[in-house]
Structure formats: structure tokens, C-alpha cells
Amino acid sequence: MGNHSRRQMAVLLASVFMIATCGILYELLISTISTYFLGSSVLHFSVTIGLFMSAMGIGSYLSKYIENQLLERFIQIEIWLGLMGGLSAFLLFFAYSLTPHYHLVAGGLIVFLGTFIGLEIPLVTRIIQQYASLKDSIAQVLSFDYIGALVASLVFPLLLLPYLGTMRTGFLVGMLNLAVALFNLSVFKTQLLATYRRLMLVTMLLMAGLLAGFLYSFKITSFFEKFIYQDEVILAEQSPYQRIVMSKWKDDIRLFINGNLQFSSVDEYRYHEPLTHIPLAASRQRTHILLLGGGDGLAAKEILKWPDVQSITVIDLDPKMTDLGKNNPLFRQLNQNAFNNPKVKIINEDAFNFVSQTTDKYNCIIIDLPDPNDNGLGKLYTREFYEIVKKHLTPDGIVVTQATSPYFAKNAYWCIAHTMQAVFPSVVPYTTYVPSFGQWGFVMASFQEIDKQRIASKLFAQKIPLKHLSAASFGALFLFEPDAAEVATSLNTLDNQALVDYYEKATQKWEQP
């Protein structure tokens, strides 16, 4: 093999590496966006990957009908992939924010990209056969293909998503496909005389268009988010774990994580007061508090109202979230600068890992985590998790968790309550009304019997400034109306993740038109 042939062979193998990387990145990108908009990461990642693989099989089968001009067809496929893949995030944001047809657009996009990706490898393998035997061609092509897949799976969560976000990543990956086309056009120019100029012109124009989209991607994302969040978006941050958005309308400031409302400043106290003050009053001592979640600082603000609290350990996975809670002026105003209080210690770690590894014990453990809309969150509501939490509770201590809505997600709520009952001898469910969310629920547990009358006496004797809780309405917190009354459920375990299924079914029920 001459030097020229070796160079062409190297270009083709480099192309295999790049197209494999782009293919996996498109799968991860579409799965991530669908999770942001629709929740349930396991479901959407599974469906996206399964549909992608099926479409790739169709593409591989169809490749046998391409008999001539293999190199030209390969470059044309790269151009189409660059165009549609580069616009993938744009099209998904458009479909979700401006049309009712997100699933149709996402499915069509997956099938299109998967089919064209499936065409690539067979065509490249046949082209490489001009330079090596079939045995060597397949071995080299698949080796570079698998290496590219590994690189993509590492680069996406560690670099692309946290630093570029979904929209900019889409444009960038599309440009990589177009770069493969340009690279092959330049190297195989003499073999593409009839179509070289046309293909080069089209590729360059598309590259310029995607580059413009890349440069203005944040403005494009902000444009669509105006329709998604309705109110003015005043903050938008992408972390390796989630999309953080803050909106404002008059005096109402709202926090959204992955499109899900976390709080509204006008009524957040109706959620945070019952979450924190009820278990703190129930606990015999309040010196050392563990707060799992609560990266916005609002729960910590309430806990600090108790004068005998000596330390609050906040465990939140996302340093971007806790940094906003500690340093952003809006958050600091809302949480009354709680995260800069010397009593507060912030640790950025997975809650499950932390409680599994720590040896400390706490008088009160407050679990303020997002709803269990995927298995990653669902594990933080399992029997196994509560068994570990129990080991870090003092004998007279209290643990409480937010537990979704006993009205909108009745089975999910009572699943959490029943799971805690399987671990703790004394469990007390309670509920309140939060206008931004509707009826909301909490579950409190302890080794000792929880005395509601003692809670009320302790809480209202402290003269803690409260906006929502009162002695007159205290008893109503523990009353569940018939449409939110207890129902039989399975326990939530790491093995069955029954809670996620309950929650998904409830979400689907209330999202139906």
C-alpha cells in the first residue's frame, strides 16, 4: 500500500471514529432533552436507545441497495446527519415549547438519525475494502467505532453538557459530522470531480449555519424557555446534573429544575415551614441537623430560626445549585443568607452515598429532595435508604421527608408512608396546602411514639416567626380528606422501584388533556 493509499485509509478510519462519537452523542442528547421535558430518565433513555438501535438496523439493511458511488453517498449521508443532528436540540425545543407534537418530532428525529447512522458503517467498510481485506476492514472499522462510542459516553456528561448545554452541544456535534464530510471531500477530491464543488458548497453553507446557531445558542434557548416558563427568565444555568432556571413575574420568583417547579417565592413558606418546624418541634434535641437536598437554602433558613440548633449539614449533589444558594443575590435574599451562616456546612455529594459512609448521628434528619420521577431519585425513597438513614438518627431523633402530593399522586404518597412504616416503629403522615403545588404531603418517623400535642406545645411556645403554621390550624395538618385517604400500596425497594411507577402513572393521569 502506497503512502497516498495509507493516507486515505487513515482518513476513513478517523471518519469511523468521529461518526461513532457523533452517533452516541445524538442518542445521549435526545435522551437528556426528553428527560428534561418529560421526566423518567430510565424510560426515555431506554426508548431512545432502543429506537435508535432498531433504526440503525434498518439503515444497515438498506445499505445493501447502494451499489455505486459509495464515497459520494457516504459524504451525502454525513451532510444529512450534520444538518438534522445539528438541529436536533433546536427541533426538540421547538416541538415542546410551540407544538403539542413533541413525541412525534422526537420519534421521527430518532428514526431519521438512526437510519442514516446505520448506513454509515457498512458503506465505510465497503470503501475500506479497496485498501485492505474484508477481515482487516471489519476489524479496524469496528475497533474505531467502539472507541468512538466510549469517548462520546465520557465527553457528553463530563464536558459537553455542563459547559455547553444541550442546544450548543447539538450544533457542535452537527458541525463534527460536516467536518467529516469536508475532510473526505478534501482528501478524495480527485475521485469526486463531478460532484465535488456542489458537495463542498452545500457543506460549507450548512457549516456556517450551524456555527451561527452555536454562537447564538444561548439566545435561542432563552427564546424557547420564554414559552416553556411563560414568565421572564432571569437566570438559566446548566450543571452536569440538571438545568436550573429562575423566572420572575412581579414579586413572584420561581425556581425550576429540569422544567419542574421547585418553589414559588410567594408561598414557599407554606411548604418549608411544615417540612422543618414540625419535625424540629417533635425532636427532643435540635443540636445537630442533617438536611438532604435543600440546595436553595430555604429549608436551612427555617431551621436556623431555632436558637438551640448548633450545626446544619446540607447534602446536595449539585455544587452549581448550592453555589447559587450561597452567592446569588436573589437566592441570598430569599433564604436570608442562610448558607453563609457559620452553623451551616455544605457538602456536595449524593445523599445515598453520604448516609452510607458517614458515622455521624443527628437529632433531626430532613429529606428535601425532588419528586421520585426516575430511579436515581426513587432510590432515595426506598426501604434500604431509610434503613441506612435510621442508623444516623439519635434514639430520640426525628426523620422527615417530603412525599409528593397525597391528592395528585395518592399511591406515590402512601407508598412512601408505608415504606417508612416498614423501617420505623412510629410514623406520622401529614399534609398542607401550597397554592403553587396544591395539596402536599410529608411523612415523619421516629424510634419513639410521636406525640402531636407535645409538638404543638413545643412549636408555639418558642415564639418562632411563622407565616403559615398556627395553633388554631395545627390539628388539620394530620387530617386527610377522603380523596387523599390512605390506600394500599407496595413498599418501595431498590429492587422494584414501585414508587417511580406510581409517580409516573399519577403524572400521566394529570397531564392528559
**Catalytic residue ranges:** 368
Sheet holding 344-347, edge to edge: 344-347, 311-315, 288-293, 362-368, 393-402, 438-446, 426-434
CA proximity to 399, closest of 438, 354, 335, 444 = 444
Bridge partners, 400 (sequence order): 366, 444
Long-range contacts of 420-428, Cβ-Cβ distance < 8 Å, separation of 24 or more: 420/386, 420/445, 421/445, 422/383, 422/386, 422/491, 423/383, 423/386, 423/387, 423/390, 424/386, 424/390, 424/399, 425/449, 426/450, 428/452, 428/478
In eight-state DSSP terms, residue 284 is S
Cα–Cα distances in angstroms (integers) from residue 495 to residues 382, 386, 491, in the given order: 9, 14, 10
Checking DSSP bridges between strand 288-293 and strand 311-315, what pairing results, if any?
parallel
Tell me the C-alpha distance between 180 and 488, whole Å. 57
Opening angle at CA 369, ends 363 and 372, nearest 5: 130
In eight-state DSSP terms, residue 322 is H
Contact 332, 326 (CB under 8 A): yes
Amino acid at 30: I
In eight-state DSSP terms, residue 478 is G
Task: Provide CB contacts within 8 A for 458, sequence distance 6+.
Answer: 281, 282
Task: Provide CB contacts within 8 A for 403, sequence distance 6+.
Answer: 381, 412, 413, 416, 417, 429, 441, 442, 443
User: DSSP assignment of 223-256, as one string?
Assistant: HHHHHHH-SEEEEEEE-SS-EEEEEEETTEEEEE
CA proximity to 170, closest of 184, 185, 156, 150 = 156
CA proximity to 66, closest of 115, 26, 23 = 115
Cα–Cα distances in angstroms (integers) from residue 394 to residues 391, 444, 454, in the given order: 8, 15, 19
Tell me the C-alpha distance between 256 and 237, whole Å. 11
Termini Cα distance of the chain: 65
Contact 303, 297 (CB under 8 A): no
Sheet holding 252-257, edge to edge: 232-238, 243-249, 252-257, 260-264
Contact 412, 372 (CB under 8 A): yes
Tell me the C-alpha distance between 346 and 302, whole Å. 16
